Structure 1
Amino acid sequence: MATSTNYPAAACATEMNFDLDFHSINIVDLDLRDDTLYLIAEETVKQEFSKIENRCAILRNMKGRVLVIVKGGKMAVFEEMSDSEIAANAPRTQFIIQHYKETTPKGLAVAISVKTEKKIYTLSCKDKKLHFKEGAASDKIDYREQDILFYQERILGHDKMQFKSFLYPEYYLACKQEKKGIFKLILKKGCQDEEGSTKFIVHYECGKTDSLE
């Protein structure tokens, strides 16, 4: 199965055919269940992830706005910032992208956390609702915690990235402009639009320790 390296420009970043939502599976009579679907569902449950490394990163949208944690760590927005302002607002502008190795590799699986002055928060898309929940991502993740996992995918011909939900493969992290000029980090269905809302600039080595201790 293809990884996230070569993709047509007009298509979504991924070629992975991983459309199974574990939470949407209905338990039915074994005699009536499709054997192929059952085997795929069973594989999803067995899939486990082991942490490889942490990397510190600054995340920007296509317009160059910087992602920053606000409201006590519960929400993230994009703001225009100079390099000095990014440093002045650390650690809320500095995210920890944690890379994981899958039991059956299907791409670059990551979790996104932030270590604020007081607490650690990790991005979750549980029930298709994007939020930062308190606590660091585990070193090992099974099906009970896969709401924090995303596939980080490079876009062909660009130095941009997309982040696709592991649990909900049709949904991507995106930037959405709301009232009063606020640009929020959201979970969006689909990966294409004229504004490039699902495309991100990832700048590593932001000068912060990658430890979440």
Structure 2
Amino acid sequence: MATSADHPLAACATEMDFDLDLNSINIVDLDFREDTLYFIETVKQEFSKLDKRCVILRNTKNRVLVILKDGKMAVFEEMRDSEIKDNAPRTQFIIQHYKETMPKGLAVAISVRTEKKIYTLSCKNKKLHFKEGTAPDKIDGKEQDVLFYQEGIPGHNDKMQFKSFLYPEYYLACKENKGRFKLILKKGCQDEEGSTRFLVQNCTKTDS
């Protein structure tokens, strides 16, 4: 299984920008067959479920991400190791890895199993929320709102960024609002505070 270290993406990685001088390109006359064109037109990006891991997520100030009791919002709070364990399973997030038909990065979904329900993080319509239900086994056009690309940060092996699949300019981030540090969807990932950078620590599920 590939890990984020296998995908050394630069911080704030974006889709490739092909700005080419067409006059400098040598045009090659290729004999495309009809079945080849049919394949190109019909191939679709699909995601199939691979392995998963339990993680604790922290922001750059070492605050721990915890989902609230309503299951719809997550905030970062200062916690000792004992408090992280005491607040499980709300501090234990599941990163589900996916295999792509046309690999572009490390595709993941982020879920959490609370005492009664499972929620999966969604950025539908650029609005971040946890929706009830597990991460899909297969994604072939629907439910792409739960997909993110987990990107490594050069020089920081333990820190990651999560870019929305549907909205490549948007990243998961931490934002302070009235004394609370909320998990949000933020356009761009360049700021002095490093709001889009997260420490990802492996953990062992303590709930049944």
Q: Give the conservation status (yes or no) of the 8 Å contact 1:16–1:106.
A: no
Query: What amino acid does structure 1 have at the position aligned with 2:201?
Result: H
- For 1:119-159, what per-residue CA distance to the aligned partner results, in whole angstroms no more than 9, with x for missing partners? 00000000000000000011111111100000000100112
User: Which entry has the higher C-alpha Rg, 1 or 2?
Assistant: 2
* Partner Cα separation in structure 1 for residue 190 and residue 141 of structure 2: 28
Residue in structure 2 matched with residue 200 of structure 1 by the alignment: 198
* Partner Cα separation in structure 2 for residue 172 and residue 15 of structure 1: 11
Query: What amino acid does structure 2 have at the position aligned with 1:207?
Result: T
Query: What amino acid does structure 2 have at the position aligned with 1:187?
Result: L
Query: What amino acid does structure 2 have at the position aligned with 1:163?
Result: F
Q: Matched residue pairs, number? A: 181
Query: What amino acid does structure 2 have at the position aligned with 1:51?
Result: K
After TM superposition, the score normalised by the length of structure 1 is 0.80
Q: Give the conservation status (yes or no) of the 8 Å contact 2:160–2:198.
A: yes
Cα pair distance change 1:83/1:54, threshold 3 Å: same
Q: Give the conservation status (yes or no) of the 8 Å contact 2:160–2:199.
A: yes
Residue in structure 2 matched with residue 69 of structure 1 by the alignment: 67
Residue in structure 2 matched with residue 32 of structure 1 by the alignment: none
Query: What amino acid does structure 1 have at the position aligned with 2:82?
Result: S
After TM superposition, the score normalised by the length of structure 2 is 0.82
* Partner Cα separation in structure 1 for residue 177 and residue 201 of structure 2: 25
Pairwise CA RMSD of aligned residues? 2.2
The list of structure 1 runs, each at least 4 consecutive aligned residues, that deviate by more than 4 angstroms after superposition, is none
- For 1:156-189, what per-residue CA distance to the aligned partner results, in whole angstroms no more than 9, with x for missing partners? 011210000000000000000011x100000000
Residue in structure 2 matched with residue 177 of structure 1 by the alignment: 176
Q: Give the conservation status (yes or no) of the 8 Å contact 1:114–1:120.
A: yes
The aligned runs of 1:1-150 (5 Å cut-off) are 4-7=7-10, 12=12, 14=13, 16-17=15-16, 46-150=44-148
* Partner Cα separation in structure 2 for residue 135 and residue 116 of structure 1: 11
Q: Secondary structure at the match of 1:72?
A: coil
Cα pair distance change 1:154/1:124, threshold 3 Å: same
Q: Secondary structure at the match of 1:143?
A: coil
% of aligned pairs identical?
Answer: 78
Cα pair distance change 1:65/1:47, threshold 3 Å: same
Cα pair distance change 1:84/1:209, threshold 3 Å: closer
**Structure 1, unpaired ranges of 5+:** 19-41
